Amino acid sequence: MLNFAVGPVQMAPEILQVGAQPVPYFRTGEFSALMKENERLLVEFAGAGEGSRAVCLTGSGTAGMEAMVVNFLDASDKVLVIDGGGFGHRFVELCRIHRIRTEVLQLHYGEILTEKHLEAYEGAGCTAFLVNLHETSTGVLYDARLIHSFCERNGMMLLVDSISSFLADPFSMEELGVDVMMTSSQKTLALPPGLAVLVLSARAVRKAERTDCGCMYLDLKLALKDGERGQTPFTPAVGILLQLHERLKELERKGVEAETAHIRMIAEDFRRRIVKLPFTLASTSMSNAATPVHPLHGSAKRIFEILKDEYEIWVCPNGGDLADEIFRVGHMGNLTIEDNTALLKALADMERRGLL
């Protein structure tokens, strides 16, 4: 299968090879050294400042989202949440479950966040900002600089889910004043699902250490403490952490900028060529990570099914009301221009067959 899904994404052969090895016992000096190197590289690649820390939790991205909510927010907070799609809505739900007060900035499907939206919340006593930088469900990338200056003006903590944007778009915690960023293993890191990565600024580390999060498994105090010696409170996803190490070392050799440039090149090539077929782009503010595509004829869902069953290609269907209107094409992972060509050829063939 050729995989253009938005996660899990296509993995590199070297990563698959690490995954084929037996999983070692992990309470060892060797594993601790590897974990410390993972942490160093994650902090570096997130552009985090002096005194920042990184923690890997075992769980999907949502475990990381929930960890953010329980470790950095409490009853004294009022949180501005951007709800522009499925993932923004998940943050709203998490805050509701954990009884965190919220102001919900509701965007309609595909809407871009502007200065005008934020004006209403200026000086409104919000203490934190919670956002999915790239709302992967709609393919809208929010303006991180706009959010940063709003948070700075209003003295708010900035908590960012950059799951599908990290490595795909230029990002620096320090430059954007981000207190906590979170990503997960199955998006641009191009590993199996199972790890949620949080990178904490020095200020966020201090906050986590003071917080009683009311939860054992997601308690970052424990993870930070054990992490000092390269260990974890509970059995981690050892195999994926070994794959993460392989991936981070590769990124260190190649450079994060080169990885981002590659993903952008794949995305731009695809966008240039897809509009020559009967499709339009369904977002005007896109991440390099994915392109939401609207077919001019035929059902998007049906196109996804045919590509899967007859051409051995995965794209990503949309859920909800727009299932027939939009599918998404991911550009993360081990993809090349030739892979784009294969997908576009399949779509051109479907057009010839009268399916589009």
Interface residues with ligand PLP (CB under 6 A)? 7, 60-62, 87, 132, 134, 136, 161, 163-164, 184, 187, 193
CB of 84 to ligand PLP, least distance (A): 10
Closest CA to 140 of 284, 21, 256, 339: 284
Q: Closer CB to ligand PLP, residue 139 or residue 295?
A: 139
C-beta separation of 145 from 176 below 8 A: yes
Beta sheet of 157-161, edge-to-edge order? 53-58, 195-200, 180-184, 157-161, 128-132, 78-83, 101-106
CB of 254 to ligand PLP, least distance (A): 23
Q: Closer CB to ligand PLP, residue 7 or residue 236?
A: 7
What is the three-class DSSP state of 333?
Answer: strand
Q: Closer CB to ligand PLP, residue 113 or residue 350?
A: 113
CA–CA distance, 220 with 209 (Å, rounded to integer): 8
CB of 296 to ligand PLP, least distance (A): 27
CB of 94 to ligand PLP, least distance (A): 11
| Residue whose CB is nearest to ligand PLP in the complex, by number | 61
Instruction: Give the HSE-up count for residue 266: Cα atoms under 13 Å, Cβ half-sphere.
Output: 27
Question: Crossing angle, helix 337-352 and helix 256-274, to 10 degrees?
Answer: 20
Report angle CA 129, 131, 137 to the nearest 5 degrees: 165
CB of 233 to ligand PLP, least distance (A): 21
Q: Closer CB to ligand PLP, residue 87 or residue 279?
A: 87
Q: Closer CB to ligand PLP, residue 7 or residue 177?
A: 7
